[in-house]
Structure 1
Amino acid sequence: MLKDIFSKKKKYATIPNEESKQEVPEGLMLKCPECKKIYYRKELDKNLKVCPNCDHHYRMTAKERIDSLIDAGTFEEWDSGLVSENPLEFPEYLDKLEKDREKTGINEAVVTGKGTINGLTTAFGVMDAHFRMGSMGSVVGEKIARAIERAREQKLPFIIFTASGGARMQEGVLSLMQMTKTSVAIERFHRSGGLLITVMTHPTTGGVSASFASLGDYNLAEPGALIGFAGRRIIEQTIREKLPDDFQTAEFLLKHGQLDKVVHRHDLKELLTDLLDIHQPGGGQS
C-alpha cells in the first residue's frame, strides 16, 4: 500500500485567465509571480492558494494551513500564550515581535496543537513564514519540543509543517540551541514508537532544515519549495563551482533521495490521511 501511495501521479487542469485592463480595488486581483497571469484573490483562496494556471504554490498562513487540513471543530491549540523575550537586549526586537503579532494574529512563528484529519487524531505544528520569516527562536523551539512530548505522552502521531528562514539572529546561540532541543525530543518520540511526518514548504532553510525538518519517518515537500542549509551563493563561492539551476528545490532533493515525495497541495490531505490510517493499530485494512 505504501508503494501505491508514493507512486501516485496526477495531472491538474489549468484554468486560463485573461489579463483584466479594468480598474479594480487594490488587493482584489493578483498577478502570479511565475506565469504572470492575473486572477481574482478569491479564486486563489478557493484553490488553496495554488495558482490555477501554473500550479505555483503561494505561502499559507498557519491558520490557512490548519483550516485546509484539520476537520472543523476539532482543533485544540497548545501553548498559545508563550511569547518571546529579549535575552540579548537586541535593539527594537520586542517592537518587531509586537508588530508581527498584530499583523498575523499569532504570538509566535509556530502554532501547535491537535485535531483530526478525516477523523484520524494527530498532533501537529505549523510554522508561519509571515511571522519573523518563520525564524526559530527559543519559543519556537520550546513549543515544538513541548508538542512532540505531548504527542509521545498521548501516543499520537505528529505532523510538522516547516517554513523558516533559519535560526533567529536576535537570540544568538539560544536560537541555535533549539536545534538540539527539538532533535532530542524527536529521538525520545521515535524510541517510543511515535510516527513523525514532516512537510517542508517554501522556504525551509538554515537550522530548521538541519534539525527537526529532516528527521521525519516520512519527509514530504510541496512543489518548488526551497529547502537547504546555507545559501546558494555561499556554497558556490566555497566550492567554486556553478550549481544546477534546480539546486535546493524540492524536486532536486527528491531526485537525490532526500525526500520521500513531492506532494501537490490538493493531494496533501488525502496522502496524510492514508499515512495516518496505515499507522493506526490494524491500519491500512480499509
Structure 2
Amino acid sequence: MATFTTTDGTTLFYKDWGPRDAQPVVFHHGWPLSADDWDTQMLYFLEQGYRVIAHDRRGHGRSDQTDSDNDMDTYAQDMVELARALDLKDAIHIGHSTGGGEVARYAARAEPGRIAKAVLIGAVPPIMLKTEANPEGIPLEVFDGFRASLIANRAQFFLDIASGPFYGFNREGAKVSEGLVQNWWRQGMSGGAKAHYDCINAFSETDFTEDLKALTIPVLVLHGEDDQLVPIANSAHLAIKLLRNGTLKTYPGLSHGLFATHPEVINPDLLAFARA
C-alpha cells in the first residue's frame, strides 16, 4: 500500500501508476467511496501513456477514519500536500460528485504549476443546499434524512443508494449491474461512519461559487441529464456560468454514476479534453 501522512498526522492511501515523467491525471472520488471507483478510468488513461493517481479521501476507504476535519478546506489541503509530496506538475484533475467539489476548491488553491486542467463530473458545485441565494437547491430536510438513515442502518442505506438512484437502476427498463452495486457498497462500508456523516455537510452545504469564479484553467463540466442525486439544473447549468474557461457537455438519460455505467462514452470525452 502506498500512503503518505499529512501535516496534521492523517495517513492517506493512494494509487500511483505509470511513468513518473508522464503527465499526471488525478482522480477524486465521490461520497462515500474510494479510489477504487476510478479503476476503469485509471486503466484507460494508463494505456494512453499517462501517469494516473487516485487517493482515498480522509475518512474513506483505506485512509485513516478521521473523526474531525472532514470538510472541503481540509480535503483540498490534503490534495495540496499530496501534489507536493508526489511533485505533480501540470496535472489534470478529474472529480466526481463530492470529488468534483474537492477539485474545484483544490484548483482554486493549487500551488503554481501543479494543475493544468480540471473536469467536474456530476459534481456538487456551486452549492447543493437550498438557500436564499440558491432557491432551487435541495432542502436541508433531504440531507437530514441522509444523516438519519446513515445512523439507523448505514449498510442498508448504502445498498439502497447503489441499487437505486446513483446509477439510475430504479428507472424502468434499466439494465442493472449487480457488480456495480456490490462494488459501491463494498467501498462505502470500508470507510468510517463518522467521516461519512460529516461529509454529508461538506458536499451539501459548501458553497463553491468563489472557487469556480477564481479558476482560469480549462474546466470541462460533464453531467448526466437524468442525475437524481445532483440535479443538473442546480449544478452543472449554474457552474458553467461561473467558469471563465468552461465547457459543458451533458448526456441525455444518463445517471449520476455515468462514468461507471457508460465508460465507453465518457472515457473518450475525457481523453479528448486531456489531449486538447
Q: TM-score, normalised by structure 1?
A: 0.35
RCO higher in 1 or 2 (8 Å CA, sep ≥ 6)?
A: 2
- Kindly name which structure, 1 or 2, has the bigger radius of gyration based on alpha carbons: 1
Q: TM-score, normalised by structure 2?
A: 0.36
